[in-house]
């Protein structure tokens, strides 16, 4: 049995930010967010503390570099009394969005981990540097505390999956360790536990994780059968700054013109909703679309068509669809997005009520209109899933 009172620090290392979330069991007790600001023409870094009651406080201090974030975070957590000799950290968790067999599992960081990270820089030049930085700083600052990499595809790499391969020569597959590993695994892993826990399990379901990044996974009897993301999160749905699936020739042409790393950056960070509508905030895009702003209208329509089309594709592959689940920021909160998607799926037996709010006491809402198949809204909790799996891994090692 996993000890739910373990204390974990969950890291989120961005290209110009660091977030530290401290958990006791599955309860977040405090988070620190270091981000850059412009001041007198120079870049400075500030830290915001968010406590369990939701209150926020900006630390009365500024730094010239993000390099100090780990040392300062340790000092703040100790000053606040969250970690000390009586309440030491049990582990530090680093989510890894990286492809390949090694990264389809969770691991306690060792020399092999760092060698494997170096190998996947080719296909993951955006995510891996932040991961390496986070691991290095964590080990230097919190000496003796286990650092664990939490795979973002582990929950999806099961024998039940039917879409794990690419039609490429075997030599190329083996050389680059290519596969449709999928991503948002922590969210889907949580959902695969939460849906039956709530008594909502149907034979054929799709879970739509719609947030800054967007993906869809089809479940058959609660196990993953198909997922929209592939070797990297770029494959599949268009999202806030990602193209989603496009003609591979375009990627090759961009690589030839810009170089591989810059082409990957453009398709991941400078495309998607941002490129079409000038904003990656779905609320602003919806408002623009309602006012008839051309870019917003086109972006919204392409986004909705992409999600509805992928749901239809998975329904065809499963031979039918019994329930739809919406989760993540947009999926949980955006009534217009849910309504527009479901309006295209009425021929499959789905019809939505657009005034349904999430009932937190139940942990879910059913937005289905009378006579419709279920349309569930279920909040995800990726950190809870990672913490549970990390606790199990540490318990196994300590046996």
pLDDT digits (tens, 9 = 90+) for 232-252: 999 999 999 999 999 999 999
Is 50 in contact with 30 (CB distance < 8 Å)? Answer: yes
pLDDT tens-place string over residues 206-225: 999 999 999 999 999 999 99
**Model pLDDT, residue 155:** 96
d(CA 314, CA 29): 39
**Model pLDDT, residue 98:** 85
152, 247, 294, 395: which one is catalytic?
152
Q: What is the 3-state secondary structure (H, E, C) of the chain?
A: CCCCCCEEEEEEECCCEEEEEEEECCEEEEEEEEEEEEECCEEEEEEEEEECCCCEEECCCCECCHHHHHHHHHHHHHHCCCCCCCCCCCEEEEEECCCCCHHHCCEECCHHHHHHHHHCCCCCCCCHHHHHHHHHHHHHHCCCCCEEEEECCHHHCCCCCCCCCCCCCHHHHHHHCCCCCCCCHHHHHHHHHHHHHCCCCCCEEEEEEECCCEEEEEEECCEEEEECCCCCCCCCCCCCCCCCCCCHHHHHHHHHHHCHHHHHHHHHHCCHHHHHHCCCCHHHHHHHHHCCCHHHHHHHHHHHHHHHHHHHHHHHHHCCCCEEEEEHHHHHHCHHHHHHHHHCCHHHCCCECCCCCCECCCCEEECECCCCCCEEECCCCHHHHHHHHHHHHHHHHHC
**Model pLDDT, residue 15:** 67
| Domain locations along the chain | 7-151, 200-382
**Model pLDDT, residue 312:** 98
Q: Tell me which of 340 and 129 has the higher pLDDT.
A: 340
pLDDT of 131 above 90? no
Is 232 in contact with 207 (CB distance < 8 Å)? Answer: no
Biggest distance spanned by C-alpha atoms of the chain:
62
pLDDT tens-place string over residues 282-322: 999 999 999 999 999 999 999 999 999 999 999 999 999 99
**Model pLDDT, residue 3:** 45
Is 98 in contact with 117 (CB distance < 8 Å)? Answer: yes
d(CA 321, CA 305): 18
From the options 3.40.50.720, 3.30.465.10, 3.40.50.970, 3.30.420.40, give the CATH code of 7-151.
3.30.420.40
**Model pLDDT, residue 376:** 97
**Model pLDDT, residue 342:** 98
* Torsion angle defined by CA atoms of residues 335, 336, 340 and 346, in that order, rounded to the nearest 10 degrees: 30
Tell me the mean pLDDT in the region 379-385: 92
Active site includes 247? no
d(CA 165, CA 268): 22
Tell me the mean pLDDT in the region 226-234: 96
pLDDT tens-place string over residues 15-68: 678 899 999 988 899 999 999 998 888 889 999 999 999 899 999 999 998 889
Sign of CA dihedral 146, 155, 378, 337: positive
Sign of CA dihedral 375, 381, 384, 387: positive
Give 133's contacts (C-beta < 8 A, 6+ positions apart). Answer: 13
Is 325 in contact with 363 (CB distance < 8 Å)? Answer: no
Q: What is the 3-state secondary structure (H, E, C) of 253-292?
A: HHHHHHCHHHHHHHHHHCCHHHHHHCCCCHHHHHHHHHCC
Is 75 in contact with 81 (CB distance < 8 Å)? Answer: no
**Model pLDDT, residue 1:** 37
Q: Are strands 204-210 and 323-327 parallel, antiparallel or unpaired?
A: parallel
In 3D space, the residue among 311, 304, 309, 313 whose CA is nearest the CA of residue 276 turns out to be 304
Distance of CA 211 to the CA centre of its chain: 8
Least confidently predicted of 106-110, 129-133, 362-366, 381-385: 129-133
Whether 7-151 shares its CATH topology with 200-382 is answered yes
Q: How many CB atoms lie within 10 A of CB 243?
A: 19
**Model pLDDT, residue 366:** 96
pLDDT tens-place string over residues 341-377: 999 999 999 999 988 877 777 899 999 999 999 999 9
Architecture of domain 200-382: 2-Layer Sandwich (3.30)
Give 55's contacts (C-beta < 8 A, 6+ positions apart). Answer: none
d(CA 36, CA 293): 32
Using a pLDDT cut of 90, give the percent of the chain over it.
Answer: 79
């Amino acid at each position: 049995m996993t000890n739910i009172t373990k204390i974990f620090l969950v890291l989120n290392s961005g290209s110009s930010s660091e977030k530290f979330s401290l958990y006791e069991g599955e309860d977040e007790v405090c988070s620190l967010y270091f981000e850059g600001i412009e001041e007198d023409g120079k870049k400075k870094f500030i830290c915001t503390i968010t406590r369990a009651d939701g209150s926020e406080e900006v630390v009365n201090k500024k730094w010239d570099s993000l390099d100090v974030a780990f040392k300062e975070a340790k000092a703040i957590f100790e000053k606040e009394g969250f970690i000390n000799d009586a309440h030491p950290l049990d582990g530090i968790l680093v989510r890894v969005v990286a492809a390949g067999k090694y990264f389809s599992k969770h691991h306690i960081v060792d020399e092999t981990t760092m060698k494997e990270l170096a190998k996947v820089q080719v296909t993951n030049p955006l995510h891996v540097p932040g991961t390496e930085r986070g691991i290095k700083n964590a080990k230097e600052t919190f000496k003796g505390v286990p650092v664990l990499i939490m795979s973002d595809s582990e929950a999806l790499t099961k024998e039940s999956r039917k879409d794990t391969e690419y039609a490429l020569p075997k030599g190329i597959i083996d050389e680059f360790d290519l596969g449709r590993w999928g991503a948002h695994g922590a969210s889907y892993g949580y959902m695969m536990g939460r849906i039956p826990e709530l008594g909502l399990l149907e034979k054929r379901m799709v879970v739509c994780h719609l947030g800054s990044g967007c993906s869809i996974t089809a479940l058959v009897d609660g196990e993953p059968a198909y997922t929209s993301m592939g070797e990297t999160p770029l494959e599949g749905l268009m999202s806030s700054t990602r193209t989603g699936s496009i003609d591979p020739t375009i990627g090759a042409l961009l690589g030839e013109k810009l170089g591989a790393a810059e082409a990957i950056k453009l398709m991941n960070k400078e495309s998607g909703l941002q490129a079409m509508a000038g904003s990656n905030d779905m609320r602003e895009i919806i408002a623009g679309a309602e006012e008839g702003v051309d870019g917003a209208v086109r972006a919204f329509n392409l986004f909705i068509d992409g999600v509805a089309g992928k749901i239809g594709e998975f329904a065809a592959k499963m031979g039918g669809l019994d329930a739809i689940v919406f989760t993540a920021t947009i999926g949980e909160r955006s009534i217009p997005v849910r309504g527009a998607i479901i309006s295209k799926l009425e021929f499959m037996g789905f019809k939505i009520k657009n005034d349904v709010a999430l009932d937190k006491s139940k942990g879910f809402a059913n937005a289905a209109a009378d006579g419709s198949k279920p349309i569930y809204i279920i909040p995800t909790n990726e950190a809870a899933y990672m913490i549970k799996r990390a606790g199990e891994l540490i318990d196994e090692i300590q046996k």
